Structure 1
Amino acid sequence: MKKTILILSFLFLLISCEKPKNENILQGKVENEQLAIVSKVPGKIIQLLVKEGDLVQKGDTLAVLDIPEVDAKKSQAEGAVISAKAQYSMALKGATANQIKQLEAKQTGLKEQYEFAQKSIKRLGNMLKDSLVSQQMYDETFAKYQGALAQYNAVQAELDEARKGARTEQQTMALGQQDRAYGALQEVETANKERYVIAPQDMSIETITLNLGELALPGYTLFNGYISNSTYFRFTLQESQLKGFKKGQEITVSIPNSNTKIKGKITTIKQLGAYGNIATAYPDYELQESLFEVRVTPLNISETKDLITKTTVTLSL
């Protein structure tokens, strides 16, 4: 009894592996262009706004990440911008009105000291000629005169600089610091936008790889899906079957599940480099022959809206 069951099972297996009776029918698959959406910055998922099977449009938010490091850096960058703006404004405007008043008062006092020292040195010069004062006294007074002159010239220059503002080089340096602070803030704001995972195209969500609370690392795929209106048909042909097929040719593809036919155009004929890429069932072929992929694009994409990816389609040879 057991032997009979084994023989029947073996025969059933052989029958199921046989080729289709009609060898003039080529089987292929319904395909869609795939799209993977990855995260750019590390963060925990705090919101998932879609579920598997949803159709989304370009620009829709799919998930929200929690990135506390960005919030801290944003506060630092905003403080740096405020400081840099104040420094650049001070470099352009120069001293305040109160600072100029203080310098003017200092200038007046030093001017009086300078003028007094100037009168004193003139008097002592005449007295020195008549030998009424010693050379030592004259030299000491002359030294005080030179000091008063230097202080007066210094405050005069300081006042002129305060009225005109900082040097051009200082203004340029302050402007550079301001631009640098704005750049740092812009960088943080860009990173802050990356907390929102956005759909780059109209697509259907097929798989979601992470759940709420899980950590998304940079470059990790969060969503997989198919691009909307990207349906095509893919067939695998051996070299000897390529006769009669050429790029740009219009052909008719049959849909067994719905008993419908869809017209399309051959857009790609390329050699397959791996056996695992074969789309056609019963892929027996001569080893010396190359395999080729024939891609057929529907002429009217709206006719494919109800087709399910990876289902079988047929083509008459």
Structure 2
Amino acid sequence: MKMKKVFALLLAMAMIFPMSGCSGANVKKDSELHGTIEAVEVDINSKIPGRVAELLVEEGDEVKKGDVIAIIDSDELVAKKNQMQAQADAALSQYNAALSQVDAANAQVEKAQNGARRQEVAKAQAAVDFVQQTYERVERLYEKGAVSRQKRDEVKLQLDVARQDLDMALEGARSEDISGAQAMAASAMNMASAAKAKYDQAQAGLDEVMAYIDDTTIESPIDGTVTTVAVNAGELVSTGMSIAVVSDTSDMWLVVDVEETKVEKVKEGDYAQVQVLALSGKQLEAKVVSINKNPDFAVKKGTDESGNYDIISYGVKLKLEGAAEGIRPGMSAKIKFKE
């Protein structure tokens, strides 16, 4: 009789207090986790040292990719740019002059190889005809005793020279003349090559300085919100120094640690309610987008004060759905998974 009463009592207690193995389905509903809002954050640095001439943003400003964040003033770069520009201009002038010498030398080579042009032959022939007529006239006067022998000889010499010029125009240059013209052309080419190398070097230096000057205009690499401004206008900054932080608030998420005894209840695509503490407990929704599969990256924690054994927690990433005014990376939130 007593045994029947004990059995009835145990049955009643089991109905009132379900066994722990049957309560697992409520883990998601009853568990409240804590996480931190995260987003893509870009730390915008200065590539060059200088003074902040202009600071064009404040914390909380919305910016687009390419918007100017700040402008760095560097007198040293401006002076260097002027110096390199002068060197490049001088080198270019020398190069152009060398090219002109190359053209002239090549023209001499062509002339030597091809002989005189038709116009030059015609000119030489005309000179011979003119001096020939003059000589014949002087010769007749000489026979009559009207001009001296010296005068006749002078005109005869002019006729001989004119005939030699015509012969050279008709025959072309000699081999030694061609070789000489080719040597001059080769020398001119070497001078032009050296001038070109000097100009390229000067232009490369100028391009480098111009690239540094471009870096004085610091732009945002992404669309987002300015969440941190680290400098003030007029402040000196060094290379690598942070100017501002821009966060992509259009794509924010949380990562929470879920214990191994409960992670099996969480699935990709599940939804959770997110309560952002800094926004007066404003309620948002988040969707599970990934669950860490590798326990090597999971967080371990002691289950009692003595730490006899650990329970592994897996990182669960939830993407916030819908933007909330005022929400920023780093804010704390409470997360409760939905059934």
AA aligned to 2:50 is G
Q: Which residue of 2 aligns with 1:306?
A: 325
Asked whether the equivalents of residues 55 and 233 of structure 2 are also in contact (C-alpha less than 8 Å), the reply is yes
Q: What whole-Å deviation, never above 9, does each CA across 1:161-184 have from its counterpart, x for those lacking one?
A: 798474433322222222111111
SS of the residue 2:265 aligns to = coil
Counterpart Cα distance in 2 of 1:46 and 1:274: 47
Shift of 1:187: 0.5
CA RMSD, 1 decimal: 3.5
Shift of 1:284: 7.6
Q: Give the alignment of 1:178-193 within 5 angstroms.
A: 178-193=199-214
Identical counterparts, % of pairs: 22
Counterpart Cα distance in 2 of 1:268 and 1:167: 72
Distance 1:40 1:31, change over 3 A: same
Unaligned runs of 5+ in 2: 1-28, 108-173
Shift of 1:224: 2.0
Q: What whole-Å deviation, never above 9, does each CA across 1:53-95 have from its counterpart, x for those lacking one?
A: 2111111111111111111110111111111111211221108
Counterpart Cα distance in 2 of 1:37 and 1:172: 43
Asked whether the equivalents of residues 26 and 314 of structure 1 are also in contact (C-alpha less than 8 Å), the reply is yes
Counterpart Cα distance in 2 of 1:38 and 1:255: 34
SS of the residue 1:200 aligns to = coil
TM-score, reference length from structure 1 = 0.62
Q: Which structure: larger Rg? A: 2
Q: Which residue of 2 aligns with 1:206?
A: 227
Q: Which residue of 2 aligns with 1:37?
A: 44
1:79 to 68, 76, 86: 86
Q: What whole-Å deviation, never above 9, does each CA across 1:25-67 have from its counterpart, x for those lacking one?
A: 2233332222211100000112111111211111111111111
Counterpart Cα distance in 2 of 1:158 and 1:65: 60
Q: Which residue of 1 aligns with 2:119?
A: none
Unaligned runs of 5+ in 1: 1-21, 101-152
Whether 1:255 aligns to 2:278 is no
Counterpart Cα distance in 1 of 2:52 and 2:296: 39
Counterpart Cα distance in 2 of 1:307 and 1:315: 21
2:313 to 264, 275, 291: 291
Q: Give the alignment of 1:1-317 within 5 angstroms.
A: 24-94=31-101, 160=181, 164=185, 166-246=187-267, 248-255=268-275, 257=280, 260-269=283-292, 285=303, 287=307, 288-298=310-320, 300=321, 303-306=322-325, 308-309=327-328, 310-316=331-337
Distance 1:165 1:91, change over 3 A: farther
SS of the residue 1:222 aligns to = strand
Counterpart Cα distance in 2 of 1:260 and 1:253: 7
